[in-house]
Amino acid sequence: MCGIAGFYQNKYDFLSSNYGGRTHKNKWYSRLVQMKQSLAHRGPDDEHVVLFHHAGFAHTRLSIRDIQGGVQPMTCSYQGTTATIVYNGEIYNTAELRQKLSAYPLQWNTTGDTEVILNGFLAMGTSFFEELNGIFAFAIYVEKTGTLILVRDPLGVKPLFYQIQNDTLVFASEPKAIFAYGIDPSADHSCWNEIFSLGPARTPGNGGFAQMKEVLPGKYVTLTPRPSSPFFHFKEESFWSLKARPHTDSYLETVEKVSWLIEDSIERQMVSDIPICCFLSGGLDSSLVSAVCQSKLKQRDRVLNTFSFDFKDNTKNFRANSFQSSLDRPYAEQMAKYIGSNHTFLECNNQIQADYLYKAVDARDFPCMADVESSMLYFCEQVSKTNQVALTGECADEIFGGYPWFHDENLWSKHTFPWSWDMDARKALLDDDFASSLHMEDYSQRAYMDTIESTPHLSDDTPQEARRREIAWLNIRWFMMTLLNRMDRASMYSGLEARVPFADHRILDYVYSIPWHMKCYNGQTKSLLVEAGKPFLPDSVLYRKKSPYPKTYDPAYEQLLADRLLEMVNETNSPLTGIIDKKKLSHFLHTPSDYGKPWYGQLMAGPQMLAYFLQVGYWIRNYSISL
């Protein structure tokens, strides 16, 4: 994994002596260096920049494959065309693609996937993008034609932000590199709604900040110069999109196909020139990934490192609720012993979790998933001390239907986001005038309806099946993207590459079209995943009720948050002035928290709301945001 950044314009020549010669070039090199340095955490092993006549590329590298040969930016030539790439990600079908490209007289200088992407583009053009199986975001520049192409993987696992300012497009893996270029962060009406009406989710394609965008999953953007003009043409196209197809396989055939796809994806994502590890919670998803990895490594006489995460004294403080009925640790212990992995239990205390709330904003450049994200940031930092590649169980619930709103008719029949249906919870602390100015219900409902209207359907879907597809699509476009963003930023902030085998577009493409009675066969939640896990997992884990990412139940943590938030709102020139109503906050802090009333599904309730407002205040101050 890596960090990429750059800029593109058609107004003047960065390398020409007509614009100040060496001094002019140094100015733009300096900007590239600043952008590169802002992403150093994503790639601590190597870094380079290159300046073209009308573009500049910066790259920071985390060396996972072809450690000696995979230096970027990388340039290749074919039949008179030269192109350069900066790339972040992993291509898991590299060997097959290289074999396919052997039909072309291409030159090969490395064994890595970067060169495969670039040579594939030179040989086959943009049609090659649909051949890629992996997680990726990359930029390709063809200097002869002055063309820049930005590309993002089908499920959006890897981020790619951009902003157009006047006649220049600036792009990067994270917003901080766009700011390092010289664009100031700012907020508008949409930005505040993203934070309070939808957050920690973001509208697909919305970069959070005013005027900032993100390349959509499965899309590529092409920029070409306009003749006799300082501006450029901007065109967005799809190379992959999800479709609903008639499902003709029997249940047994479906189980067999799903099982093969899952095992194949996990095995492909084990490819690395350095040791891999797995996050193992003791739940079905991460246990299956870990078990398959260990079974493959055992064939090579190697042992898998696994890690699980929890909070200090959670055994003592835990209170079961409708979302989380059991602690992870006993199941993680059982699974580690069952597969024979080298397991490490990591713990986070109240102070660390609260302190890392601000680091999480630094990592994400935006208010995020409160302590759900701050704790993951800390855990990834600990894992990165021994491993640089980790496989996780993310995305299985969204694809296979594991969340409560897939099953609870009261939730899935609501015509709004089922994980965030109570806007009153979001307004609980907001100043009434501020909340009224946002028109939060309208903004949220418009985002919801835009998604519903784009749901892939079949013409003969029953009303109930059609609604199931809508719920699945909402999860894929929103809930899954929120968790993928969290995982990317939390892991890459410490130079840890997190891979997500369930986020293979082949799996999503097949499973999305499977009818609900097969996905929940005989009433069994995620029945297809259960069937796939039978050769690898004990029954106690196979049939364990879903338990979300853990959070602390220590009342002292909530008190710590309350004290910090009170201190922030009572400061002179508080960043939360005009946003938080002090009387509402006082009432909230003197009312017992309801851990079951969600701000954002099962992951964010009362304590997390306090943490979220702390993040908002920190973000306003540190990014110099004006209300």
Catalytic residues: 2
The DSSP symbol for 226 reads P
Residues of the chain by 3-state class (helix, strand, coil), percent to 5: 45, 15, 40
Phi, psi values for residue 612, rounded to 5°: -65, -40
For residue 311, what is the DSSP state?
E
Compute CA distances 556 → 312, 347, 376, whole Å: 12, 16, 20
Looking at the DSSP bridge assignments, the partners of residue 5 are: 58, 172
> Tokens 């409160």, residue?
370
Q: Are 138 and 239 in contact (CB under 8 A)?
A: no
Count the neighbouring beta carbons within 10 Å of the beta carbon of residue 145: 11
Spell 181-190 as b/e; 16+ CB within 10 A means b: bebebebeeb
Torsion of CA 253, 257, 258, 264, to 10 degrees: 160
Among 297, 379, 303, which Cα is nearest to 341's? 303
The C-alpha atoms of residue 187 and residue 583 are separated, in whole angstroms, by 26
Nearest 5°: the CA angle 195, 198, 204 is: 100
Angle 557-560-561 from CA coordinates, rounded to 5°: 90
Q: How far apart are the C-alpha atoms of 128 and 122, rounded to whole Å? A: 9
- Describe the crossing of helices 370-383 and 606-622 by its angle, rounded to 10 degrees: 80
Which amino acid makes up residue 565? L
The answer for residues whose C-beta is within 8 angstroms of residue 108's C-beta and 6 or more apart is 98, 115, 119
Other Cβ atoms within 10 Å of 355 Cβ, number: 14
Based on DSSP, count helices (H) and strands (E) in the chain, helices before strands.
Answer: 25, 17
* The token pair that represents 65 in the structure block: 């494959």
Direct distance between the N- and C-terminal alpha carbons of the chain, in angstroms, rounded to an integer: 36
SS (H, E, C) 319-333: CCCCCCCCCCHHHHH
C-alpha span between 327 and 334 (Å, rounded): 13
